[in-house]
A and B are shown apart, each in its own frame.
Chain A
Amino acid sequence: MKIMAIAANTFKEAIRDRILYLLLAFAILMIGASRLLSLMTVGSEEKIVKDIGLASIALFGVAVAIFVGVGLVFKEIEKRTVYTLVSKPIRRSQFILGKYCGLVLVLAVNLAVMTAVFYLVLIQRGWMDWRLTGAIWLTFIELMLVTAIAILFSSFSTPILSSLFTVTFFIIGHLSWGLRLMADKVEGVAAKFLCEFFYRVLPNLELLNMRGRAVHGLELPESQMAFATLYGLSYTAVLLALAVATFRRRDFL
C-alpha cells in the first residue's frame, strides 16, 4: 500500500508536469506520417507506416523512461522532499520501488495511448495486424528494464551522468549480440572470456526487439515471447535489487 501511495504520487507528478503532452507529438507524427506517405506511391507504404509507428512508440517511451527516470530520485533529494518522506514509517526500498512503479505506470499509460492512436491509423487504412501487439508488449518490457537502469544510476549519481550511463547502456544493450560474434573471432582465452562475460552480464535488448518481425507480418513464436518477457523481468528485478542496495546506504545531504 505504501509503495502504491508513492507510485500514485509519482504518477500525479508526471501528469501535472505535463509529460504526457509528448503523446500529442506522437499522435501528430503518426497521423502526419500516414497522410504524407499516402500521397506518395511507394509500394511498401504499409510497412513504412508500421515501422515508423513501432519505432516512435519505442523511442518516445525510452525518452520518457530515461529522462524522467534519472531525475526521479535525484529531484526528491535535491528538493529535500525526501527528508520528510523517509522520516515517515517507510523503508527506503519502498521508496525506490514506489518511484519505479509510478514511472512504469506513466509509461504504461503513455504506451497504451500511443498504441491506440497507432491502431486507429492502421484500422482506418485497413492495415491492422494484431501481431503488432506482441512487439509492443516486448517494447513495454524493454521500457521497464531501461527505467530500472535509470533508477539504478540515479540512486548514486547526478541526472546528467545517469542519463549518459543509461543511454550508453541502452545502445550497448542493442549491440551486445556483437560481443558473441566477437568472442568467436578474437584470439586468446582472456579476450574470449571477456567478450563472453560482457555478453552474459550486459542486457541483451535485442531479445526484446521483435518490431522488425512484426512489421513484416512474421509469426512471433510464443516460446520466444515468453522467454523474452521472463528475461526482461528478471533482469529488471536484479537492477532494482541493486538500486535498493545502493540507496539503502546513501546519506541524504
Chain B
Amino acid sequence: MSVPQPVLEIAGLRKSYKGHLSIGRREVIKGLDLTIQPGEVFGLLGQNGSGKTTTLKMILSLIFPDAGRISLFGTDYRSVAHRHRIGFLPENPWFYEYLTGREFLDFYGQLFGYGRAERSARAEAVLARVGMSDRAGLPLRKYSKGMLQRIGMAQALINDPEFVILDEPMSGLDPIGRREFRDIILDLKRRGRTIFFSSHILSDAEAICDRVGILKDGRIGVEGRLADLLSPAVRSWEVMYAGPPFAQLMSVAAGGDGGCQLLSDRGPESLVAVHDEKVLSKLLDSIRTQGGRLISVSARRETLEDLYVKEVSGR
C-alpha cells in the first residue's frame, strides 16, 4: 500500500518580528516541524501569542518565514494554484462592510474564476450550510460578530476546499453557534476534508480533533493522537453524597483526610475528590455506616486540559 501524500509538511520553520521601536528582533517560531495527512483534523493549541496565527499565516503566504520549508500537497507552498484547494477563515474576520453577504460571496467566487451561474449556486449552497441564507441580503456592516464568523466560514468553503485552515473558528460564537460550527467541521471531516485549526478552547479541540500539537516556545512541544497522548488510567474519583459532615466522615474512614479533598459543600450534599482506590473504598463504607446516602461516584481520566496545563505551565 502506498503512503498517502501529506497535505502539509513543515520542517525547521522559523519566523521573527521586529522588536519594540524596531530595535532587535523577537523570534516567535523557532524551528517548527509538522506533518498533516489527508483527512485528518489537526488542532494547533497554545497560549495567546505563542505563534499559532503566525504559523497559519506562513502556510498561506501572508507572511514569509525566515527559514525552513513548507510544502502543500507535496509541492512548494507559494504556488497560487494551491489556493484553489484551500479554504481559510482568519481569527475575528472582518470583511467589506459595504457589501451584502451575497455580493461578498459573489466577489470571492470571481477570484476563483467561476462563471456567474456557478458563483450563485456555490454562494447559496455555502449560505445554507452556515445557516445564513435568510440574512445574506443585509450589508455586512449590520452583521453581529457571530454572523461575521458564519459568513467568514462561508467564504472559506466557497471553493469546496480539500484543506481547510481555521484560525480560532469558535471565538465570538455563542454556545449554539459553537455547536453548529463543530457540526460543520465534523461534516467536513466526514466528507474526507483535511482540517487544520488553531484554538485555545480545549473542549472544542478535544471534541473535534484526531490529533493535536501544543505550541510552546516556538516549537511543537507535544504532538500526537488524543488517544495516545491522554492516559486512559483513572486519575481520581469524585464522590457526591448526602449526610454526615466531611470532617466526621474522615475521622472514621481514614483516621484523617489523607487522599481526600472536599471540593464543595452545599447544604446536605458534599462533593469529595479521592485520589487513592483504597481510600475510596473506605470512604464509601463510612458513608454507609454513618447513615449517609451515596448520590454518585464518577471516575476522572486525564483530559486535554490536564495535558495542556502540564505542557504549557509545566505543572
Contacts and interface: CB of A to CB of B under 8 A. Distances in A.
Interface string A62-96: 00000000000000000111111111111100000
Contact of A1 (B83, B113, B152): B113
Interface stretch (A12-20, A115-123, A199-207, A229-237): A12-20
Nearest to A252: B62
Contact of B108 (A83, A84, A253): A84
A89 B84 contact: yes
Given A91-B80, A252-B62, A2 B57 contact: no
Interface residues of B, number: 31
B99 A80 contact: no
Contacts of B99: 9, 12
Given A87-B62, A88-B83, A253-B17, A80 B94 contact: yes
Contacts of A79: 94
B155 interface: yes
Interface stretch (B2-10, B85-93, B241-249, B293-301): B85-93
Contact of B107 (A9, A83, A249, A253): A9
Contacts of A218: none
Contacts of B61: 86-87
B64 interface: yes
Interface string A174-191: 000000000000000000
Contacts of A89: 80-81, 83-84, 111-113
Interface residues of A, number: 26
Nearest to A251: B63
A16 B94 contact: no
Contact of A80 (B63, B80, B93, B111): B93
A164 interface: no
A13 B98 contact: yes
B111 A85 contact: yes
A17 B98 contact: yes
Contacts of B96: 9, 13, 81
A88 B105 CA distance: 12
Interface of B: 17, 57, 60-64, 80-81, 83-84, 86, 88-90, 92-96, 98-99, 107-108, 110-113, 152, 155-156
